[in-house]
Homo-oligomer: A and B are copies of this chain.
Amino acid sequence: MSTKSKGSNAERELIHMFWSKGFAAIRSAGSGSMKYPSPDLLVAKNNKILAIECKITKNTSKYFEKREIEELAHFSKIFNSISYIAIKFKANEWFFLEINQLIEKEKSFMIDIKTAKQKAKTFEELLNVFIKE
């Protein structure tokens, strides 16, 4: 299976998870030839919107181009959404991180599985944010 197909399947998995919990969720068609920011998923319920970049990896860490993260933040500023990175390391559950929880390097942002386990929200913990407030 191609990397692109695996990515799409990961996005679909999250779409199912969010709808099953009463959220409305859509996958972006991607920016394609267009130059505009386009988060992988938009998810909303109770007047809160999440803009999510969605990643899966077989490695124990994942790097992001600064541009990708900056575009996510730019999109959310206009759309009034909360930016999240959803990442699934092999054989682990989904982790949800806010941008400021990523580790900033000179030319990239990164997250490793150890840091994710310490700082990230699980799916259930992410849902609690929407229930409590």
Contacts and interface: CB of A to CB of B under 8 A. Distances in A.
Contact of A15 (B36, B39, B45): B36
Q: How large is the interface on A (under 10, 10 to 19, 20 to 34, 35 or more residues)?
A: 20 to 34
Tally of this chain's copies: 2
A80 B80 CA distance: 12
B39 A26 contact: yes
Nearest to A8: B29
A27 interface: yes
Interface of A: 11-12, 15-16, 19, 22-30, 34, 36-39, 42, 44-45, 47, 49, 75, 78-80
Max chain B C-beta neighbours (<10 A), residue from A22, A24, A42, A44: A24
Contacts of A80: 44, 47
Contacts of A38: 26-27
